[in-house]
Chains A and B, each alone.
Chain A
Amino acid sequence: QQKVQQSPESLIVPEGGMASLNCTSSDRNVDYFWWYRQHSGKSPKMLMSIFSNGEKEEGRFTVHLNKASLHTSLHIRDSQPSDSALYLCAASGAGNYKYVFGAGTRLKVIA
């Protein structure tokens, strides 16, 4: 059964620091990855998606993907207390309608 593993489980970074989160799929058929952010008591909101090898940057957020190792990472620079949330990685394979989610990384940014 396809699994998506995220690490670390939790992360504390100082305000202004860099947060790095990791995600790996065990399914060789996975082609697409998403990163979602879920603040406490709220619904997940999509941050970024990536389908091609390499890097994608949007503002303070950068996502990397290595399709050979099925590994993606999310980097948040200049972290803010408002970035404190659960970060979820999701993956799906070509033609598959549903995502498989990881269990998330809980990020806390301390002032």
Chain B
Amino acid sequence: NSKVIQTPRYLVKGQGQKAKMRCIPEKGHPVVFWYQQNKNNEFKFLINFQNQEVLQQIDMTEKRFSAECPSNSPCSLEIQSSEAGDSALYLCASSPQGANSDYTFGSGTRLLVI
């Protein structure tokens, strides 16, 4: 069982709907990452946080995606207006330190946009 907890496991949304998923990082891990893994197994980095602050994010994240890691609450990733191309496995990972450290992945949220 992963020490990074992601919910829900599966999410089905219609196009244009909001999709929200959550992640509780491993205890003691201040750095949290979100990746999208598509059906070809390709990983796309979305955003990362150290404590509550955004470290890096890609343009895609800035437009339709929003994410936060509030203190004492789960981290979340929300897609404001889902598109068919957003269907993927969304993986949250955490690490004990910043650069060049091992990740622990959650089990992922599989999003299907119909």
Contacts and interface: CB of A to CB of B under 8 A. Distances in A.
A83 interface: no
Of the four ranges (under 10, 10 to 19, 20 to 34, 35 or more), the interface on chain B belongs to 20 to 34
Interface of B: 2, 31, 33, 35, 40-43, 45, 48, 50, 55-56, 91, 98-100, 102-108
Contacts, number: 56
A99 interface: yes
A46 to B, nearest CB: 6
Interface residues of A, number: 25
Nearest to B45: A98
A92 B95 CA distance: 14
B55 to A, nearest CB: 5
Given A43-B107, A103-B42, A104-B41, A98 B100 contact: no
26 contacts: A32-B100, A34-B103, A36-B105, A38-B41, A43-B2, A43-B105, A43-B106, A44-B103, A46-B102, A46-B104, A49-B102, A51-B100, A88-B43, A92-B99, A92-B100, A94-B100, A95-B100, A96-B100, A97-B48, A97-B55, A97-B56, A99-B45, A99-B103, A100-B45, A101-B42, A104-B41
A21 B93 CA distance: 24
